Homo-oligomer: A and B are copies of this chain.
């Protein structure tokens, strides 16, 4: 079983109740390499999706809305799944990730609402409406910048932390912030894949839509930018190979910024779209 599949595994412990164990291999590592204590949000969303899909009448998470309530800790958690509707075209479930499950009033850390459905297996059938916008332009992967085990993302053992699992290659036009020369445009573009050999699927897309460095780095912001809410749509089943991810921002004010991501697969199809609203990292105020 792959690292991502192990990290997002769920174990059914009752009617609509799943036990999960946040995996330190996908932890957020504090700068300085301290012991990780918080989990990557995308992996928690993928875990909630796995619990929902366990009893879904349809195979794909077409629309996933995630509101991040508290920082998920590296402690046992539970996913509570409630089906609100099971229809022929779409089914909707609410999935709440709770922690402190030993306490009587466990705390919700993540609220996810998922509408599942079917996605087209291939090209449009005759007469069916079909249309796609322009894909993002990226240089060939060999001309992109390997972020490697960038600072603050890998634990002291070298195997824990998000960047120990994810291979990210950024368009050099969007990496000026690494040398203190931000491009002045809130955009990121890059190739996204796991370091392990594993085909992309819905769970990997849940990571990819929030997988690039925060778009505000392009304007000189720094520090952790906590996601407050993120909604993503799965549009097609991704083909084998690295994903192309392009992000942009439309508005920053009052400490809030939006980040939109498009994910295209290696076959050139738009496979996922997202928008999140997040808080500008605190350290950027010092710049």
* A residues with CB within 8 A of B: 62-63, 65, 67, 69-70, 84-85, 89-90, 92, 94, 96, 108, 111, 113, 115, 117-120, 124, 127-133, 186, 216, 219, 221, 228-229, 231, 233, 235-236, 248-258, 262, 270, 273, 275, 277, 279-280, 284-285
Give the CA-CA distance A262 to B129 in the complex, in Å: 24
User: Cβ of B228 and Cβ of A277 under 8 Å apart?
Assistant: no
Instruction: Determine the chain B residues whose CB is within 8 A of the CB of A248 once the complex forms.
Output: 133
Give the CA-CA distance A101 to B39 in the complex, in Å: 40
Give the CA-CA distance A215 to B176 in the complex, in Å: 37
Q: Min CB distance, A86 to chain B, in Å? A: 10
A117-B256, A120-B253, A250-B270 given; A129·B221 CB < 8 A:
yes
User: Cβ of B275 and Cβ of A233 under 8 Å apart?
Assistant: yes
Give the CA-CA distance A113 to B273 in the complex, in Å: 19
Provide the main secondary structure of the chain A interface: strand
Give the CA-CA distance A118 to B279 in the complex, in Å: 12
Instruction: Determine the chain B residues whose CB is within 8 A of the CB of A69 once the complex forms.
Output: 84-85, 92
Choice from B65, B85, B236, B284 contacting A113 with Cβ under 8 Å: B65
Instruction: Determine the chain B residues whose CB is within 8 A of the CB of A63 once the complex forms.
Output: 67, 228-229, 277
Which residue from chain B places its CB closest to the CB of A216 in the assembled complex? B129
Question: Could you name 7 residue pairs across A and B whose Cβ atoms are closer than 8 Å?
Answer: A62-B256, A129-B216, A129-B255, A132-B250, A132-B253, A233-B277, A235-B251
A63-B229, A258-B233 given; A219·B129 CB < 8 A:
yes
Q: Min CB distance, A237 to chain B, in Å? A: 11
Which residue from chain B places its CB closest to the CB of A254 in the assembled complex? B120
Choice from B133, B231, B252 contacting A250 with Cβ under 8 Å: B133
User: Cβ of A89 and Cβ of B254 under 8 Å apart?
Assistant: no
User: Cβ of B273 and Cβ of A219 under 8 Å apart?
Assistant: no
Instruction: Determine the chain B residues whose CB is within 8 A of the CB of A84 once the complex forms.
Output: 67, 69, 96, 108, 111
Which residue from chain B places its CB closest to the CB of A84 in the assembled complex? B108
Choice from B117, B131, B251 contacting A132 with Cβ under 8 Å: B251
Q: Min CB distance, A133 to chain B, in Å? A: 4
Instruction: Determine the chain B residues whose CB is within 8 A of the CB of A124 once the complex forms.
Output: 253-254
